[in-house]
Amino acid sequence: MSVKIRLARHGKKNFAYFHIVVADSHAPRDGRFIERIGTYNPNTNPATIDLDGDKALEWLNKGAQPTETIRRVLSYKGVLLKKHLLEGVKKGALTEEAAIAKWEAWIQEKDSKVQAKQNQLVQAGRDEVKARKEAELKIKEAKAAAVAQKKSEQALKEAEAQAEAEAAEAAENAETPAPAAETPAE
């Protein structure tokens, strides 16, 4: 029986997440499996990978073949590096302590890179929100200035109309002769 380490799809349409499983190569993709060793969620940035590295290493040592995607995931999580270093220990190329030290140094470096990327994404999000607020503030100020200008124009027109009405009333009063004084009746 040939054994594969592969992905089993779960989740809904256009929002899939995957279980990392060890399964017979003849079993269906989402069907029967031997053991579930982790999860992979590509919907987050960076992708969320929860993997039991020891179980994955154990299955690799037993001869399980990873698929292309799982090979990349195992490489990303350092499982393939650990397997390589342990094979070096078996061959006598380096000591077990040196292999573990190299692997832990690599893991720390990888974790710092991932953390830096997460911080960069958070900062980019904050900068985007700040830029959006500044743009909204400029638009708001421009609208307020336009409204104030419109109000001042309207007030000026009203003042002109009122002045014209007063002038017309004054002119009307000036044209109308004053009532003649009544002469006393005899």
Q: What is the pLDDT of residues 135-171, one digit of tens each?
A: 999 999 999 898 888 888 888 888 888 888 888 888 7
pLDDT tens, residue by residue, 53-97: 899 999 999 999 999 999 999 999 989 999 989 889 888 888 888
| Domain CATH code at residue 20 | 3.30.1320.10
Using an 8 Å Cβ cutoff, are 53 and 78 in contact?
A: yes
Structural domain range at position 136:
95-163
Using an 8 Å Cβ cutoff, are 49 and 73 in contact?
A: yes
pLDDT tens, residue by residue, 6-52: 999 999 999 999 999 999 988 888 888 899 999 999 998 888 999 99
Please indicate, yes or no, whether residues 88 and 28 belong to a single structural domain of this protein.
yes
Q: Residue 32: what pLDDT?
A: 86
Number of independent structural domains in the chain: 2
Distant-in-sequence, close-in-space partners of 4: CB < 8 Å, separation ≥ 6: 22, 23, 24, 25, 64, 65, 66, 67
The answer to pTM > 0.75 is no
Q: Between residues 80 and 181, which one has the greater pLDDT?
A: 80
Domain end point (choices 58, 93, 128): 93
pLDDT over 80 at 185, yes or no: no
Please indicate, yes or no, whether residues 75 and 154 belong to a single structural domain of this protein.
no
